[in-house]
Structure 1
Amino acid sequence: MARRLIPSLNRVLVEKIIPPSKTNAGILLPEKTTKLNSGKVVAVGTGTRDRDGKLIPVNVKEGDTVLLPEYGGTEVKLGEKEYVYDHCLWG
């Protein structure tokens, strides 16, 4: 079983942020408020190269919070955590 994923080129690994389904006071939140598609970048590839061979770095860094596309990326589950592995299209 894989323990660690290392992105290559312009790919990133994003840990999904799962919002709470109820408040600290115990009030249940509607399902719409718990479906925010955001995540925290946990690993970043080195970037890709243009036609001249110059490195184009990835425009996000580890620790950034990003919005995830509703349909896209590859969902990966390692242990109890859910991740999305995708090309870096954010900026």
Structure 2
Amino acid sequence: MKLTPLGDRVVLKQLEAEEVTKGGIILATAAQEKPQQAEVVAVGPGGVIDGKEVTMQVKEGQNVIYSKYAGTEVKLDGEEYIIVKQSDILAIVE
């Protein structure tokens, strides 16, 4: 099954959380901080959203950093995704 976002929405797949600190301490799953970095899986078409022209600036396959409490979490075919508005994406990681 494929997710196709509408409007200015972007589907993200969250990258794995750090399991070991820089000092070498192994973190339990509950202690791991949820990463704010994700891979773009699908991008909506953009267009006129709320009377304003929106041009999509991200592409599939890019790694991005998004707002900590942004988006809607969705589970599909055993995979977890986050659907966010493009404005919730803060930066593209090169």
| Larger Cα-atom Rg | 1
| Structure 2 Cα separation of the partners of residues 36 and 65 of structure 1 | 12
The structural deviation recorded for 1:20 is: 4.8
In structure 2, the partner of 1:47 is: 46
CA deviation digits over 1:24-66, x for unaligned, max 9? Answer: xxx624745x5322110010011122758xx532110101111
Scaled by the length of structure 1, what TM-score is found? Answer: 0.71
Unaligned runs of 5+ in 1: none
Distance in 1, Cα, partners of 2:35 & 2:16? 8
Cα deviation, 1:6-26, whole Å, max 9, x if unaligned, reads: 011111100111135259xxx
The one-letter amino acid paired with 1:87 is K
Helix, strand or coil for the counterpart of 2:3? coil
